[in-house]
Amino acid sequence: MDGFADDPTNGANHYYDVTQNYTPTWVDDDKFVIQINTVRFYRL
């Protein structure tokens, strides 16, 4: 064990919850990394 936890988002630096009533302007499907529950993660 190296003392670091794995990053389940693979380096994503933006996220938003899909249950919100809007999609942020920065969302780019080409930059989508993973969705965990209702949160979508992106690497921009």
Residue 35 domain-assigned (yes or no): yes
Give the residue numbers spanning the domain of 33: 11-44
Q: Residue 20 domain-assigned?
A: yes
pLDDT in tens, 1-44: 577 889 999 999 999 999 999 999 999 999 999 999 999 999 99
| Distance (Å) of CA 39 to CA 2, 5, 15, 16, 30 | 28, 19, 7, 6, 16
- Examine residue 26 and state whether it is found in any structural domain, yes or no: yes
| Count of the separate structural domains present in the chain | 1
On whether residue 2 sits in a domain, the answer given is no
pTM: 0.84
d(CA 34, CA 22): 19
- 3: in domain: no
Q: Report long-range pairs for 14-23 (Cβ below 8 Å, ≥24 apart).
A: 14/41, 14/42, 14/43, 14/44, 15/39, 15/40, 15/41, 15/42, 16/40
